[in-house]
Amino acid sequence: MRKAENDRNRCVACGLCALRCPREAIEIRKGCYAFVDITKCVGCGLCEDACPTGSIKVKEYEVARV
């Protein structure tokens, strides 16, 4: 499963990632950083491509199987 993750220390809250997200999974919080709602994120990578600071990375996570 792929999900986007943001490094708040590098984020400049420009909002480009939120504009590119087709699932509206990203919002700018407190005018300071991008917050990724992982319940909405599908890991498409459009936000990662749009981020000028490289603060958003799409990462692969293992899914626990029961």
Q: Domain locations in the chain?
A: 2-60
Query: Is pLDDT above 80 for 66?
Result: no
Query: Is pLDDT above 90 for 55?
Result: yes
| Residue carrying the six token digits 């990578």 | 45
The token duo for 64 is: 């626990």
b/e map of 24-63 (b: 16 or more CB within 10 Å)?
A: ebbeeeeeebbebeeeebebbebbbebbeeebbebeeeee
pLDDT tens per residue across span 11-23: 999 999 999 999 9
pLDDT tens per residue across span 38-48: 999 999 999 99
Maximum Cα–Cα distance across the chain: 40
pTM as predicted:
0.89
- Please identify, in words, the CATH class of the domain defined by 2-60: alpha beta
Nearest-CA neighbor of 34 among 43, 53, 1, 59? 53
